[in-house]
């Protein structure tokens, strides 16, 4: 029966029935007009979700990690320098991927729990007199620590330094759940995955690519074949695909966009903020704190909860799975054991979230942690009571 429980991991997220049904379709000839009819709404929908005024949408049969690889291999050459801040497991993995591709990564270290350090990034850009930095990489929402970074601020830093570097943003755990402005923020490549805010099974890397990034394809020398944007764009312009597409996922993506837009993007973002607000009330009532060090960094899609001295977050995650059939996220890398993570993105409502908080509390009690049963749930209930308007006033 544990499959009846929602998951509270920060991806893959719960899949709404409507999306599961949309993915479940008979075999389709991808060289037919029927595929083009399926494909168009998905691409156009992503363009609206990313708030793209120009550029191209690329849908690859892959995951977010493949999106990272596609972004760099289509725009950069071996030996090129990229600038990236490291403040969590996902920013670290993207850095590692760049290094394995033979790029020179200029890494700015920031403590885990903090976001992209804008002043240090601006200083590094200003110091780059020879303009060797080709791209700045940013993890919009660091899923390991529950920290969001200020991408508009990053664009201002690039502009203030008058630096021509491309801006690549990993929005895998933010896009479709938190405000994102591809064109407004001057993002050159935005990367999302199907299994987080889009509420689909894993299997698609979803990218928005600016005209400036498209132009960089002409000089980029990193090897690429399966992920080559040029093949994809040539095929999709003719209504096709360079190889066999994941047609079911693409159909599901169109349905996902429809669901997000039926609710209204502003309402989707507000719902995520509200649910996250209740989670943070619960965390405070437990006498704990988020890993994100200041409120401006709090993520609306995932909270990494710092556990009390002498407690191990991984024990809670294991107990929740074994005893209650409920999934939370473990701490990764530097914060392994020191935190457990509550994912609160995608198809989620306040009552669903209360079930997750109640289960986390039972686990804490079972483990003998110093937490009173019901304390966090009550704090979240007080926050969620009377619906969206009340939560807005309390926030």
What is the residue whose two structure tokens read 């209650």? 324
> Which ranges constitute the DSSP H helices of the chain?
17-23, 33-50, 64-73, 89-100, 118-127, 151-160, 211-216, 229-237, 247-263, 265-285, 313-324, 350-366, 375-384, 387-394
Q: Which stretch binds ligand PLP (CB under 6 A): 61-69, 156-164, 275-283, 321-329?
A: 61-69
Question: How many Å apart are CA 133 and CA 73, to the nearest integer?
Answer: 15
* Residue 351 neighbours by CB under 8 Å, 6+ apart: none
Which helix (H) or strand (E) segment holds residue 308: the answer is: none
Question: How many Å apart are CA 285 and CA 383, to the nearest integer?
Answer: 12
Q: Residue 95 CB, nearest distance to ligand PLP (Å)? A: 12
Applying the rule CB under 6 A, the residues between 170 and 189 that interact with ligand PLP are: 170, 172-173
Q: Does residue number 198 form part of the binding site for ligand PLP (CB under 6 A)?
A: no
Which of 45, 55, 179, 193 forms a contact with ligand PLP (CB under 6 A)? 193
Q: Residue 64 CB, nearest distance to ligand PLP (Å)? A: 3
Applying the rule CB under 6 A, the residues between 203 and 242 that interact with ligand PLP are: none
Per-residue binding string, ligand PLP, 81-120, x by CB under 6 A, is ---------x------------------------------
Q: Which stretch binds ligand PLP (CB under 6 A): 18-26, 63-71, 261-269, 278-286?
A: 63-71
Q: Does residue number 149 form part of the binding site for ligand PLP (CB under 6 A)?
A: no
Going by C-alpha positions, the residue among 352, 348, 379 that lies closest to residue 277 is 379
Q: Does residue number 303 form part of the binding site for ligand PLP (CB under 6 A)?
A: no
Q: Please work out the total of residues on this chain that contact ligand PLP, with binding judged by CB under 6 A.
A: 13
Residue closest to ligand PLP when measured from CB atoms = 64
DSSP string covering 269-281: HHHHHHHHHHHHH
Q: Which is nearer to ligand PLP, 143 or 281 (CB)?
A: 143
Q: Does residue number 201 form part of the binding site for ligand PLP (CB under 6 A)?
A: no
Which of 13, 63, 75, 145 forms a contact with ligand PLP (CB under 6 A)? 63
112, 145 contact by CB (below 8 A):
yes
Q: Does residue number 301 form part of the binding site for ligand PLP (CB under 6 A)?
A: no
Question: How many Å apart are CA 102 and CA 140, to the nearest integer?
Answer: 24
Which of 64, 113, 117, 346 forms a contact with ligand PLP (CB under 6 A)? 64
Question: How many Å apart are CA 123 and CA 109, to the nearest integer?
Answer: 14
The three-state secondary structure class of 140 is: coil
Q: Which stretch binds ligand PLP (CB under 6 A): 116-124, 169-177, 209-217, 290-298?
A: 169-177
CA triple 341-344-348, angle to 5 deg? 150
Which of 6, 11, 113, 278 forms a contact with ligand PLP (CB under 6 A)? 11
Which of 73, 92, 143, 177 forms a contact with ligand PLP (CB under 6 A)? 143
DSSP string covering 35-54: HHHHHHHHHHHHHHHHT-SS
Q: Which is nearer to ligand PLP, 148 or 163 (CB)?
A: 148
Q: Does residue number 146 form part of the binding site for ligand PLP (CB under 6 A)?
A: no
**What are the residues binding ligand PLP (CB under 6 A)?**
11, 63-65, 90, 139, 141, 143, 170, 172-173, 193, 202
């Amino acid at each position: 029966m544990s499959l009846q429980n929602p998951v509270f991991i920060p991806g893959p997220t719960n899949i709404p029935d409507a999306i599961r049904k949309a993915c479940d379709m008979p075999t389709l000839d991808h060289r037919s007009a029927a595929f083009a009819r399926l494909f168009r709404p998905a691409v156009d929908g992503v363009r609206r979700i990313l708030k793209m005024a120009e550029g191209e949408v690329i849908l690859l049969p892959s995951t977010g990690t493949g999106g990272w690889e596609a972004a760099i291999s289509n725009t950069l050459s071996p030996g090129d320098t990229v600038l990236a801040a490291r403040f969590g497991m996902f920013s670290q993995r993207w850095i590692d991927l760049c290094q394995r591709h033979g790029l020179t990564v200029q890494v700015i270290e920031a403590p885990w729990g903090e976001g992209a350090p804008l002043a240090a990034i601006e200083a590094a850009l200003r110091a780059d007199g020879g303009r060797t930095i080709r791209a700045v990489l940013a993890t919009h929402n660091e899923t390991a620590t529950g920290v969001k970074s200020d991408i508009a601020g990053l664009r201002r830093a690039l502009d203030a330094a008058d630096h021509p570097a491309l801006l690549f943003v990993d929005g895998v755990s933010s896009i479709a759940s938190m405000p994102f402005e591809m064109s407004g923020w001057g993002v050159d490549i935005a990367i999302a995955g199907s299994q987080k805010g889009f509420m689909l099974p894993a299997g698609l890397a979803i990218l928005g690519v600016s005209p400036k990034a498209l132009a960089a394809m002409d000089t980029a020398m990193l090897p690429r074949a399966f992920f080559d944007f040029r093949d994809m764009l040539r095929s999709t312009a003719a209504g096709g695909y360079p190889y066999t597409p994941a047609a079911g996922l693409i159909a599901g993506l169109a349905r996902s966009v429809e669901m997000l837009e039926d609710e209204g993007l502003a309402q989707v973002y507000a719902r995520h903020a509200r649910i996250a607000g209740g989670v943070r009330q619960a965390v405070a009532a437990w006498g704990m704190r988020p890993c994100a060090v200041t409120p401006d960094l709090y993520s609306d899609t995932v909270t990494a909860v710092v556990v009390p001295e002498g407690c191990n977050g991984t024990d809670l995650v294991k107990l929740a799975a074994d005893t209650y059939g409920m999934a939370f996220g473990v701490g990764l890398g530097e914060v392994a054991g020191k935190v457990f993570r509550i994912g609160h993105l995608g198809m989620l409502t306040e009552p669903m979230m209360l079930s997750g908080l109640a289960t986390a509390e039972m686990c804490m009690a079972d483990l003998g942690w110093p937490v009173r049963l019901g304390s966090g749930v009550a704090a979240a209930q007080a926050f969620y009571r009377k619906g969206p308007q009340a939560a807005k006033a309390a926030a």
